[in-house]
Amino acid sequence: MSADDVTGTFVAEGLTKTYGDLVALAPLDLTIGVGERVMLMGHNGSGKTTLLRMASGLLDPSEGSVTISGAPAGSLDARAAMSFIADAPVFYDDLSVLEHLEYVARMHDNTDWQDGAEWLLDRLGLGHRADDPPTRFSRGLKQKAAIAIALIRPFEILLVDEPFVGLDVAGRTALLELLDDVSEGGATIVVATHQAEFAERAGRCLALRDGELVYDGPADSTEAESLMRQ
């Protein structure tokens, strides 16, 4: 498929991941359009993280392909277009939160990062810890720092893996508001979560079970709600 044929921001074609005999993700065909808010559900080991990590370029597909904004996942253009908040955030040992933000912003050619950083840190309640290394933070604070780092840079699609884990109520609310803001800005959002609050905001729900896509439809349908409860 050429870039011209792409109609969605996120296009997977026969995307498969296997580890020996274990099928982590069965062949998946999926198109996510520009500006969609997608909720990705599934029990542990269903393939949610595998899908997101392949889209981000952190995992190599065993078969098939995935494109981000028309570019193969992991390519330079795809990396520029995609921002990923992983379930396990990682940081440099010797950089503060603010230094992380500056570095990542500049790697993505965002030079007017200071005001954005200050605003993000305030929204996430991290303003007073801006000069501390995030490696020393608690799980929740690390998650907040990872969110700030993912949002400080420009992107077209935001991939988020279990972002609410470890966040307090204020953090969850702030994140939901930030996701609203991002969506209003026109970006595509794919969030792997079971959080009912996000389901209310999501327009589309995808459910995976044992590596296979078992539901693709509205997030507010009875079937989606039933899957969410499982």
Partner 1 sequence: MRVDASPTQEHACLTRSLTPVKTVALDPEHDVEITVGDQALVALRRFRRSKALANFDWVEALYKTYLTGIAGIAVVLVLSAAARDDRLGPAAVADVKADGPAWVGVVLALAIAAGLRSGGRGGPLALEAAEVRHALLAPVDRGRALRAPAVRFLRFSLFLGVVGGAIAGQVAFRRLPGDEIGWVAVGVAVGVLIVLSFAGAAMVASGRRLSHLWVDLAAIAVLGWALSDALRGATTSPMTVAGGIAVWPLDLDARDLLGVVPLLALPVLGITGLAGVSIEAAERRSGLVGQLRFAVTLQDVRTAVLLRRQLTQEGARRRPWFRVGGLEGRGDARFPTWRRDWQGFARWPLSRLARLGILGTGAGLCLAGVWAGTSALIVPAGLLVWLAGLDAIEPMAQEIDHPSLLQSYPEEPGVVRIRHLAVPLLAMMPVGLAGCAAALVFGEPILVLQIGLPTVAAAALGGVCGAAVSVVRGAAKPGALEQMSPEAAGSVKLVAAAIPPLLATLGVAPVLVARLIVDRDGPPAQGVLAGCAFPLAAGLMAVVYLRMRERARTWWTRQLEVSMSGSSIRDTARREAEAIVDARVEARAATKGSRRRGPARTEAPTADTTIHETTGER
Question: Which residue in 38, 145, 187, 207 binds partner 1 (CB under 8 A)?
Answer: 187
Rule CB under 8 A: is residue 184 a binding residue for partner 1? Answer: yes
The span from the CA of 32 to the CA of 224, in Å, is 18
Strand pairing category for 188-192 and 37-41: parallel
Candidates 71-79, 162-170, 190-198, 218-226 — which segment interacts with partner 1 by CB under 8 A?
Answer: 71-79
| Smaller CB separation from partner 1, 17 or 224 | 17
- Of residues 20 through 49, those in contact with partner 1 by CB under 8 A are 21, 34-35
| Smaller CB separation from partner 1, 103 or 164 | 103
Rule CB under 8 A: is residue 131 a binding residue for partner 1? Answer: no
The span from the CA of 3 to the CA of 123, in Å, is 37
Residue 46 burial class via C-beta count within 10 angstroms: exposed 0-12, middle 13-18, buried 19 and up? buried
| Smaller CB separation from partner 1, 121 or 224 | 121
Q: What are phi and psi of 42, to 5 degrees?
A: 155, 150
Q: How far is the CB of 223 from partner 1 (least distance, A)?
A: 31
Q: What are phi and psi of 111, to 5 degrees?
A: -90, -20
The span from the CA of 148 to the CA of 152, in Å, is 6
User: What one-character DSSP code corresponds to residue 128?
Assistant: G
Candidates 24-32, 38-46, 89-97, 168-176 — which segment interacts with partner 1 by CB under 8 A?
Answer: 89-97
Which among 100, 58, 89, 78 is positioned nearest to 11, based on CA atoms?
78
Rule CB under 8 A: is residue 109 a binding residue for partner 1? Answer: yes
Q: How far is the CB of 226 from partner 1 (least distance, A)?
A: 33
Rule CB under 8 A: is residue 126 a binding residue for partner 1? Answer: no
What does the angle CA 54 – CA 18 – CA 28 come to, to the nearest 5 degrees?
60
| Smaller CB separation from partner 1, 130 or 224 | 130
The span from the CA of 220 to the CA of 65, in Å, is 30
Contact positions vs partner 1 (CB under 8 A): 21, 34-35, 56-60, 74, 76-77, 79-81, 84, 86, 90-95, 99-100, 102-104, 106-111, 115-116, 118-120, 149, 151-156, 178, 181-182, 184-187
